[in-house]
Amino acid sequence: MRNVEIAPYGESAIRVVLGDRLDWQLNQQVHSLRANLLTGAHPELRDLIPGYASLLVRFDPLIIGLKEVEAIIQEALECVSSGSEVETREISIPVYYGGQSGPDLGRVAQYAGISAEDVIQLHASGSYRVFIIGFTPGFAYMGGLPDQLVMPRLTSPRTAVPAGSVGIAGQQTGIYPLESPGGWQLIGWTPLVMFDAHVSEPCFLQPGDMVQFIPQNGERP
């Protein structure tokens, strides 16, 4: 692989940078690298933290040296595909748009100069890649928002955004997995539980998933 940067990050981590732009193929390589390292089953590697185009590999420096970890990473990189052969999950997320579920839908429509129905149609027509999950447990950052819907965050964030809220900010769309303060424009709500620490797969989405939003009719549950 070309132009991969591998460098120490403190004494107990190595930072692997695969690129410097928001690009789903680069991102897929990050997840492929992480999967390869996991398959290799190295207990000395404590954590593998994916970024948009990078992977941070945390290790125990008292039981493995930097050079050894670099060698493991190099080997895993050799098996990283260009992105097309790796299996991607396709996930559908049911969304109740507008009304109480999406209090900012009107504002987004106005900003874009289109109708609320058009906003829904545009948002639901997209196919969004989960680039990373972070900032809070289960918060999936999804790229691929249609240009027309690109919009800044609220100037005054809400103190409490309900769990399940579907929002947009900048070029991204996302779902709040937990109630938290938030500044995203809320256009809908999903009844799906995005994060539950008490089940075996705590997070509904995984990095690398391709997500589609399915508008729901009628009353929300």
Interaction site with other proteins (CB under 8 A):
7-13, 15, 17, 20-22, 34, 46-56, 58, 61-62, 66, 132-139, 141, 178, 180, 195, 197-198, 202-203, 206-207
Nearest distance, CB of residue 87 and other proteins, angstroms: 17
* Closest alpha carbon to 129 in 55, 29, 202, 3: 29
Contacts of 44 (CB under 8 A, 6+ apart): 59, 60, 63, 64, 69
Nearest distance, CB of residue 46 and other proteins, angstroms: 5
Residue among 32 and 116 whose Cβ is closer to other proteins: 32
Nearest distance, CB of residue 62 and other proteins, angstroms: 6
Length of the chain: 221
Residue 208 and residue 31 in contact, taking contact as beta carbons nearer than 8 Å = yes
Residue among 28 and 102 whose Cβ is closer to other proteins: 28
Residue 22 and residue 52 in contact, taking contact as beta carbons nearer than 8 Å = yes
Nearest distance, CB of residue 190 and other proteins, angstroms: 17
Residue among 106 and 144 whose Cβ is closer to other proteins: 144
Residue among 104 and 129 whose Cβ is closer to other proteins: 129
Nearest distance, CB of residue 10 and other proteins, angstroms: 3
190, with CB counted inside 10 A (0-12, 13-18, 19+), is buried
Residue 79: φ, ψ to 5°: -95, 5
CA–CA distances in Å: residue 26 to residues 15, 53, 173, 184: 15, 6, 19, 26
Residue among 8 and 40 whose Cβ is closer to other proteins: 8
Q: Hey, what are 173's tokens?
A: 């769309």
